[in-house]
Amino acid sequence: MTFEQALLRMQMDGWCVLDGVIPSDEVAAVRDSVVASVKKHRNPDAPQAIGHVSGFIKIDQSLAPYLADRSVMDLVEALVGHHARISFTTATINEQGNARGGWHADWPFNQRNAGHVAAPYPDAVMHLTTIWMLAPFSEENGGTLVVSGSHRCSDTPTCKNGVAPLEPYDTELQACGEAGSVLMMDSRLWHATAPNVSSNPRVAVVVRYAPWWLNLEILRPGSVDRKRLVDME
């Protein structure tokens, strides 16, 4: 896929898959490191059969050399401008038997998050979500569910907009790709966790990119903005 094709996909569909960002002979080492770190640090409050570690870059830098890959940053800069910064890094492993998740958009559009952008949303790209595929994403192992074009909606199912969050949507798709690929989404895009019905874990790290002007202080524990907008709600 050329840059122009990927950009058009992002504008029209709200998502695309960039193939081969991590070289095929290097992805196994990154995957093994992530699996080991999740085993050691996994969040005990995460949904059943989901290996989850937030703030992942603090404990494991195996993915760090690839995060500014030019194929990724060309799209990031085209969509949110220069001087973008990383806002979240989260390891996520779908293990066998995990449940289907609910339709949602990511922060700052998820209405369940404090400090969110209130609906109706402006029709502007304000945040990008990337899911780094460290194992192949397939229909069997829980490739992320997406609704193409939903990033242009002014709300999400977390707004109680009449769409049942846990029910299949007529036009849903699963984003699939080979290990080493990157799923990029406009953070407004409706997406959901898919069940893993295979015998192998689906290993990934979620990395989000923000424009320089987006206030990330509410994400920082102890900050004035977080105390005012999150902790006091």
Q: pLDDT at position 158, please?
A: 85
Question: Rounded to two decimals, what is the model's pTM?
Answer: 0.95
Tens of pLDDT, residues 90-119: 999 999 999 999 999 999 998 777 678 888
Question: Is 80 exceeded by the pLDDT of residue 71?
Answer: yes
Q: How confident is the model at residue 53 (pLDDT cuts 50, 70, 90)?
A: very high
Q: How confident is the model at residue 222 (pLDDT cuts 50, 70, 90)?
A: confident
Question: Is 90 exceeded by the pLDDT of residue 124?
Answer: yes
Kindly state the percentage of the chain with pLDDT values over 70. Answer: 97
Tens of pLDDT, residues 127-141: 999 999 999 999 999
Name residues whose C-beta falls within 8 Å of residue 107's C-beta, 6 or more positions apart in sequence.
Answer: 88, 113, 115, 116, 127, 187, 208, 219
* Listed residue (115, 116, 133, 97) closest to 206, CA to CA: 133
The tokens describing 198, both together, are 């295979």
Count of C-beta atoms within a 10 Å radius of residue 69: 14
Count of C-beta atoms within a 10 Å radius of residue 175: 21
199: left (phi over 0), alpha (psi -120 to 50) or beta: alpha
